Structure 1
Amino acid sequence: MVHTLISVIVPTYNEEQNISACLQSLNRQTLPRDSYEIIVVDGGSKDQTREIAAPFADQVFIQTSKKVGGARNDGAMAALGEILATTDADCVLPGDWLERIRDDFAADPAIVQVYGLVYPIEDSLKNRLSLASANLFSRIGYHTRTLYYTLGCNTAFRKEAFMKAGMYRTIDAGDDLEIARRTCKLGKVSLDSRLKVGFSMRRYQQFGTLKSLYQWLYIVVRGGNSEKYSYSQREYKK
């Protein structure tokens, strides 16, 4: 197997309660640690996020671009890897996550983007049903080649294609879906149903699942920006 460096990009903002579990899971991958780097791009946290992240990551720095998409773009610009993998600071990654990503790209040179599915960290019937719906959309989009439901917490790109596509748009919501509209013009966007990530439902629990989904859809339908709602329910850098 040819040695391919993978760069994992993790945007953060006031994640001191979650970032350790995320980064520890990334440091327990089946791939050798020198075959991937971890880049934490912070949105100006007011807590101890950066200090907690430092021992686990190869790079930790404050973003200069706008919003979550901008944080991922900043990470991509600093990345040394040929493959970029993105996740969220409150996610937990399975041990074979990066190995599967590497193998997916190695199996087909035409693939430019790989994405997977999600399961709830906070296990409950309601949360399982909510994410089952998200996974259904992921599958439908892939098999119909229409709207690729590619979540930023569980996706990866060939860096060259990511840059050529124009990177993430810096919008309030839907940036992780929108980018697949551009990458699919450069090659294959592939769903790996075995690529599963533990996804935190904490914001849905705090603000309500239906309300959160409605606000997300409202923003996405309007092109990704809205002054009426903030899907993340937080102030993010710029």
Structure 2
Amino acid sequence: MISVIVPTYNEEANIASCLESLCNQTLPRERYEIIVVDGNSKDATREIAERYADLVFVQTSKKVGGARNDGAKAAKGEIIATTDADCIIPPDWLERIEADFAGHQDAVQVFGLVYPKEKGIKNAISLALANFFSRVGALTHTIYYTLGCNTAFRRNVFLQVGMYRCIDAGDDLEIARRTRKVGTVLLDPKLRVAFDMRRYEQFGTLTSLWEWIAIVVRGGDSETYSYSKREYK
């Protein structure tokens, strides 16, 4: 079984579309579960999520990384897949994740690329840059640009390496520094999800990319480094 973890907070405008796309996978529904871990939303996020997900609960750990960790602890699957509540997932996403792990026994983490939900040349260029970092990093075995909206782990390795760091940003990139010490971190360029651009638009593409990369380079130690506290729209 694959367990899909979706962290949420005040996502009533997006969560239904995300979960509908997860319910319409080519992988039979009985072979995966959907777990929504909510940051105590003030809107109808949890009520909407309960129409689709197998399990919905309020997180007890801090930040988005902590929400993913809470979901993994409750998961039944041998594979943990993570995405974001404002993403749209293609129908073959889980089937491709399953095939990637089956075809690469040394793989402990699989990740893919992103494309913008919103149209426009600026958005296309922004994510082309992010995908460029993903490809170059994977090719050179340096920085693994493993965005939390499109990544999956063998559950035993995820728990073994200590799961996500509970930091403000870059937790999804930092974890690959630890998983790669255990096995292969595999990029599947055909594993793609539709990515919401609102945070790139809010903070700026280059600022967001630089912040994430800087955290990875520094090691992502939340007890050593101080990160700016963000309020997302």
Alpha-carbon distance in structure 2 between the residues aligned to 1:10 and 1:139: 25
Matched with 1:153 is 149
- Distance in 2 (CA, whole Å) between partners of 1:228 and 1:145 is 26
- Report the Cα offset of residue 229 of structure 1: 2.8
1:54-65 matches, within 5 Å, as: 54-65=50-61
2:38 matches 1:30 = no
Distance in 1 of aligned mates of 2:101 and 2:194: 22
CA-to-aligned-CA distance 1:41-68 (integer Å, 9 cap, x gap): 0001000000010010000000000100
Measured in 1, the distance between the counterparts of 2:186 and 2:207 equals 30
Residue 94 of structure 1: which of 86, 90, 96 is its match? Answer: 90
Q: Quick one: percent identity of the two aligned structures?
A: 67
Q: In structure 1, which of residues 12, 18, 28 is the aligned counterpart of residue 8 of structure 2?
A: 12
Separation (CA, whole Å) in 1 of partners of 2:215 and 2:160: 26
Shift of 1:123: 1.5
Taking structure 2 as the reference length, what is the TM-score of the superposition? 0.93
Q: CA deviation at 1:20?
A: 0.4
After superposition, the C-alpha distances for 1:110-136 in whole angstroms (9 at most, x for unaligned) are: 110000000000011101101001101
Aligned with residue 181 of structure 2, among 182, 185, 188: 185
Conservation of the 8 A alpha-carbon contact between 2:174 and 2:216: no
How many residues are aligned here? 230
In structure 2, distance between residues paired with 1:144 and 1:216: 18
Q: Which residue of 2 is the match for residue 135 of structure 1? A: 131
- Report if aligned partners of 1:172, 1:219 keep a CA contact under 8 Å in 2: no
TM-score by length of 1: 0.91
Q: Partner letter of residue 12 of structure 2?
A: E
Query: The residue matched to 1:234 in structure 2 has which SS?
Result: coil
Aligned to 1:125: 121
1:84 and 1:234 map into 2 onto residues whose CA distance is 25
What SS does structure 1 have at the residue aligned with 2:91?
coil
- Note the C-alpha offset of 1:207: 4.4
Contact 2:2 2:81 in 1 (8 A): yes
Unpaired runs of 5+ residues, structure 1, are none
Q: For the residues of structure 2 that align with 1:132 and 1:227, how far apart are their CA atoms?
A: 29
1:171 equivalent in structure 2: 167
1:7–1:228 distance in 2 versus 1, CA, 3 Å:
closer
CA distance in structure 2 between the partners assigned to 1:148 and 1:165 by the alignment: 16
- With 78-87 and 209-218 compared, the bigger mean Cα shift is at 209-218
Match of 1:229 in 2: 228
Q: Structure 1: which 4+ aligned runs deviate by more than 3 Å?
A: 206-228
Q: How many Å separate the matches in 1 of 2:189 and 2:20?
A: 23
Paired AA for residue 75 in structure 2: A
Where does residue 39 of structure 1 map in the other structure?
35
Q: Which runs of 5+ in 2 are unaligned?
A: none
Residue pair 2:167, 2:227 contacting (<8 A) in 1 also: no
Maintained 8 Å contact 2:87/2:149: yes
Contact map agreement 1:67 1:172 (CA 8 A) in 2: yes
